[in-house]
Structure 1
Amino acid sequence: MELPVKTFRVTRADLVRYAGASGDFNPIHWSDRFATKVGLPGVIAHGMFTMALVGRAVTEWAGDPAAVVEYGVRFTRPVVVPDDEEGTEIEVRAVVRDATEPGLTRLDLTATCHGEKVLAQARATVRGSFTGA
């Protein structure tokens, strides 16, 4: 069973807010000049911010943040965020895989930006009467 796609827009303003909240002011998250100097295609979103957006999708599908028992990902590709008003989009998809034990359901997650996977081995386990809403 596939769950409804969740789409999140990410702008440079989001990166500034996340940097303030997390204390991660690495210039690869705000300076095109620095990001390209170190070999990146441009400013990139914080990996943990990307992971948090996918986590938000999981809690929305589960209907309760407390229902999330386990959640993990591996970072595979940076999310490049252009310096404009539109930013970029991250699409999050989930497939309900199986019950890992009574009352628990595993979700296989896919996060993409411009059609390319940005996370690998993304999975979550949710508790209770998972409805996918």
Structure 2
Amino acid sequence: MAAKIAYDAVEVGTELPAQVFPVTRADLVRYAGASGDFNPIHWNEKFAKEVGLPDVIAHGMFTMAEAIRVVTDWVGDPGAVLEYGVRFTKPVVVPNDDKGAVIEVGAKVAAKLDDEARTVRVDLLAKSGDQKVLGMSRAVVKLA
């Protein structure tokens, strides 16, 4: 599948459609099984609190993966993401209730990098509970 967004149709400042991703304890258990990361801070409330966390927290890579979905949904091809990096600034705290947590992600085209290669840099803003959970969240994307 090729990118569905045309390079010439995109300007610096173009906002990607924002998305909201719910996160429950069940999601964390499924992610632990898929990733092999069974650290108890991601499923055991007592252990998480004993090590100084407010509660169970989402895996950093889970948070990172949810955030990039805004870009892959926009561009239409996960393979169009050439680079992606973040800094983890705050954990996504996932309470043991019917709601869990929410990761809110917005993004915008921050720069056109290479006209010939048709690449842009997309900056992402990921928040949970009104706190920024990812810093320096950037992706380099090849457009059509």
TM-score band, normalised by the shorter chain? over 0.9
Displacement of 1:63: 1.1
User: 5 Å matches for 1:35-46?
Assistant: 35-46=48-59
- Residue 10 of structure 2 corresponds to none
Displacement of 1:97: 1.1
1:126 aligns with 2:141: yes
- Structure index of larger Rg: 2
- Residue 77 of structure 1 corresponds to 90
Unpaired stretches in structure 2, ≥5 consecutive residues: 1-13
1:19 aligns with 2:42: no
Query: Runs (4+) of structure 1 moved beyond 2 Å?
Result: none
Tell me the C-alpha RMSD between the 2 structures.
0.8
1:1-58, CA deviations, whole angstroms, 9 ceiling, x for partnerless residues? 2222111000000000000001111110011100000000000000000011012221
Normalised TM-score (structure 1) = 0.94
Displacement of 1:91: 0.5
Normalised TM-score (structure 2) = 0.87
1:62 aligns with 2:65: no
Unpaired stretches in structure 1, ≥5 consecutive residues: none
Q: Paired residues, what number?
A: 129
Q: How far, CA to CA, are the matches of 2:36 and 2:106 in structure 1? A: 29
